[in-house]
Amino acid sequence: MEHEITVAPGVRLWAEERGDPRAPALLLVMGANASGLTWPEALLDALARRHRVVRYDHRDTGRSTWSFDEDPYPLTALAADAVRVLDALGIDRAHMVGMSLGGTLTQLLLLDHPERVATATLVGTTPLDGGPADGPGIAPELLALWETMLEPRDRDAELAWRVRHWRVLNGGESPFDAEEFRRREERIMAHAGRHENPAAHARADQGGLDRAGELAAVTTPVLVVDSPADPVAGTASARHLATLLGNARLVTVPGLGHALPEAIAPRLAEVILDHTTTPGGG
């Protein structure tokens, strides 16, 4: 079932839910500049066997309103959007799974709206303090690619750029199926009705994110997924994040990078469901 949800004046978000509407709700919060269709279908189907699963497009992605150039917003607005999605769907409390920036937003929700979060799962997520000072940092190849993010490209060139981007994000420990990600990005372009990437979230104000000192007070059960091949937020970042949180455990998914191929879906679904369906969140 699809929905169109108003979250602010002139701003509407596309959302979709699947699974038993009577089951415990689970909200998927995707990363920066990424449509909700970025989540692997196999992962959604596996989670929907136990949950009412909701995914949505952030502002300036997919079928949601694209308005950043006319009306810029801070990244913290995306956390408020997640709460408004729950409100619109009549969900008082949900398990939340955040990927990358989605995990950053989920950290904010743990601090500001703990009553809305049953459990949290953080995947490929940088801590609110940016990560350990002695960590490896973001891979240079990825930083070089990001420097070209805002360059104008036609549809074919944009598609090729996105597939190359996913190849780098995948890391070097698991096979990369370029055709799988090409097909996924073609679906995302068709879903959005456009191919441009405004990189709105890369340009948005990051004020209000430096709140790592508050994470120790979090009592909500949190699962931090260690993605050892991740060129953005690898093992050092995951371990650091787990130590900052007041009620967290760490699970490693071997071979996982910062991309979510269909092949990783069964193992990722297993660790998420173990967390969301175990009393006390594991």
Q: What is the pLDDT of residue 281?
A: 60
φ/ψ (deg, to 5) at 146: -65, -25
Annotated catalytic residue, options 51, 195, 258, 275: 258
Check if the beta carbon of residue 219 is closer than 8 Å to that of residue 110.
no
Q: Which of 202, 203, 185 is nearest to 194 (CA)?
A: 185
Q: What is the pLDDT of residue 265?
A: 95
Check if the beta carbon of residue 215 is closer than 8 Å to that of residue 201.
no
| H or E element that contains 122 | strand 117-123
Cα-based distances in Å from 213 to 92, 106, 198, 245, 271: 27, 16, 32, 9, 27
* Dihedral (CA of 212, 216, 220, 222) sign: positive
φ/ψ (deg, to 5) at 121: -125, 125
**pLDDT digits 0-9 by tens, 228-253:** 999 999 999 999 999 999 999 999 99
Mean pLDDT of 60-79: 97
**pLDDT digits 0-9 by tens, 98-137:** 999 999 999 999 999 999 999 999 999 999 998 887 788 8
Mean pLDDT score across all residues of the chain: 96
CA 239 – CA 80 distance, rounded (Å): 27
CA 122 – CA 115 distance, rounded (Å): 18
Tokens of 66: 């694209």
Check if the beta carbon of residue 188 is closer than 8 Å to that of residue 62.
yes
Annotated catalytic residue, options 230, 237, 240, 275: 230
Domain boundaries, the chain: 2-136+200-281
Q: What is the pLDDT of residue 134?
A: 79
**pLDDT digits 0-9 by tens, 138-149:** 999 999 999 999
Indicate the CATH number for domain 2-136+200-281.
3.40.50.1820
230 is known as an active-site residue = yes
Residues 6+ apart with CB under 8 A from 152: none
Say whether pLDDT at 282 is over 50. Answer: no
Tokens of 129: 């303090």
Say whether pLDDT at 66 is over 50. Answer: yes
**pLDDT digits 0-9 by tens, 170-229:** 998 999 999 999 999 999 999 999 999 879 999 999 999 999 999 999 999 999 999 999
The DSSP call for residue 58 is P
* Dihedral (CA of 47, 79, 204, 187) sign: positive
For the CA atoms of the chain, what is the radius of gyration?
Answer: 17
Annotated catalytic residue, options 51, 58, 81, 100: 100
227 is known as an active-site residue = no
CA 154 – CA 33 distance, rounded (Å): 18
100 is known as an active-site residue = yes
